[in-house]
Amino acid sequence: MSQDFSSAIAALNVQLAKQEREVRETKRLINKLSAMDSAPLPHPNAELDTDEGGTLGALRRDQFYGVPLATAIRDYLKMRRSSGAGPATVNDIYGALLQGGFKFDTKNEANAKRGLYISLAKNAAVFHKLPGGSSDAAAVFGLTEWYPNAKAEEKARTKPKVRRQPKKKAATDKSEAPKASSHKQLPREATNPDV
């Protein structure tokens, strides 16, 4: 029997966002007091932390709304990387894009995930599929820029294809033999007036 925890998860995400906001405010206050005391800032990155969705815990509802698919995926993967999570499955990416307000062209979840997988797989210049994953939805993708050696290994493994000329068929069947022309040829003297 499967239970639906989506409402509890949503409530906890709201609570988490509030707690993260309070932590950022506390760090900024500590920095201000330290600066007033001419002491080094204990949290130098506190000013960089924003509600703009720089980390995974702070996905806004409109984070990916109106954003092209490849851009939304790339931004999400960068957020994962910055929070220490790294590459993601198609299921993870799909869930995050929905949570961030991305509108898929289809309402069918399976079709949306399949389209997402196809987009990831076709855009090999930006996204890299990691080995493993038993199905399309469980396939794991990261950014190609994270794996510079993987691209070199892949190129070394593939051999250039040599195009061969197709073999000519021998005319063994009478129907394939060249047919005689229906035009009668004139003697050479008749066609050449100088002779």
pLDDT at 158: 56
pLDDT above 70 for 17: yes
pTM over the 0.85 mark = no
Give the strand pairing for 88-89 and 140-143.
antiparallel
Instruction: Please name each of the domains of the chain with its CATH number.
Output: 1-49 (no CATH), 60-157 (1.10.10.10)
Which pLDDT tens digit goes with each residue over 144-172? 998 888 765 555 555 556 677 777 776 55
Q: How many Å apart are CA 41 and CA 20, to the nearest integer? A: 19
Going from the C-alpha of 58 to that of each of 67, 104, 193, the distances in angstroms are 18, 21, 94
Q: Are 89 and 142 in contact (CB under 8 A)?
A: no
Q: How many Å apart are CA 10 and CA 13, to the nearest integer? A: 5
pLDDT at 68: 94
Q: Going by C-beta distance under 8 Å and a sequence separation of 6 or more, which residues neighbour residue 113?
A: 90, 91, 94, 136, 137
Going from the C-alpha of 159 to that of each of 43, 122, 130, 156, 164, the distances in angstroms are 52, 21, 21, 7, 15
For the residues of 128-181, what is the DSSP string, one character each? EEPS--SSTTT-EEEEGGG-HHHHHHHHHHSPPPPP-PPPPPP--SGGGSPPPP
